[in-house]
């Protein structure tokens, strides 16, 4: 559902119950949970609206992702198998293929999958659970500006592949520097868009 709902859009229970073929009660429970996680906000006259990302949110998200994924890299560096490295490399290829074909939403899904898979390869189920529970929104505001950000997608591929190489070589310093650079670049790109 990445990029399919504009910030501050009202989330109507009836509409989403029909779209997802679930009961209104299930949608209401999901919206209540999302409200508790800060991903939706309540309106003055009731109802829920998709929360708008502010500049400070972007910085906080980058900091949190960096903390969790750097921890995952530190654990994965000695645990990751060749099969897992191949899986990460394949996810890099999936991302590139989606971008080349113009399937930007698919590319975003592949990006999410790459990072979730990386965290899972740390071999620590509690870290993975924490990562999922954090519901960390990724920097997907670049959607819709595809032509403007094609270089960004190329850099994303390069950084992902460098991270795979660093893990293969067990080069923790390179892995950490690459991940920090990756997140900082994403943060700056989104801050630039929010500042428009």
pLDDT at 31 over 60: yes
Residue 75 contacts residue 120 (beta carbons within 8 Å): no
Structure tokens at 194: 């929010």
* CB-based contacts of 185, cutoff 8 Å, min separation 6: 152, 155, 159
Q: Per DSSP, what are the bridge partners of residue 40?
A: 50
Reported as a single tens digit per residue, the pLDDT across 160-189 is 999 999 999 999 999 999 999 999 988 888
Reported as a single tens digit per residue, the pLDDT across 57-107 is 889 989 999 999 999 999 999 999 999 999 999 999 999 999 899 887 788
**Domains assigned to the chain:** 10-50 (1.10.10.10), 55-194 (1.20.120.530)
Residue 41 contacts residue 10 (beta carbons within 8 Å): no
pLDDT at 56 over 80: yes
Reported as a single tens digit per residue, the pLDDT across 108-140 is 889 999 999 999 999 999 999 999 888 776 555
């Amino acid at each position: 559902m990445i990029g399919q709902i504009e910030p501050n859009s009202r989330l109507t229970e009836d509409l989403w119950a029909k779209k997802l073929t679930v009961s209104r009660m299930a949608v209401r429970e999901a919206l209540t949970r999302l409200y508790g996680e800060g991903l939706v906000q309540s309106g003055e006259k009731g109802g829920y609206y998709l929360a708008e990302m502010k500049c400070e949110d972007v910085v906080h998200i980058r900091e949190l992702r960096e903390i969790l994924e750097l921890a995952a890299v530190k654990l994965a560096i000695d645990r990751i198998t060749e099969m897992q490295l191949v899986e990460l490399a394949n996810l890099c290829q999936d991302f590139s293929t989606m971008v080349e074909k113009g399937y930007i939403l698919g590319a975003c899904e592949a990006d999410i999958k790459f990072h979730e898979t990386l965290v899972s390869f740390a071999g620590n189920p509690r870290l993975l659970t924490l990562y999922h529970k954090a519901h960390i929104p990724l920097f997907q505001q670049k959607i819709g500006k595809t032509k403007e950000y094609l270089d960004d997608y190329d850099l994303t591929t390069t950084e992902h592949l460098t991270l795979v190489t660093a893990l293969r070589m067990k080069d923790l310093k390179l892995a950490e520097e690459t991940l920090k650079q990756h997140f900082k670049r994403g943060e700056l790109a989104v801050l630039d868009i929010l500042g428009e």
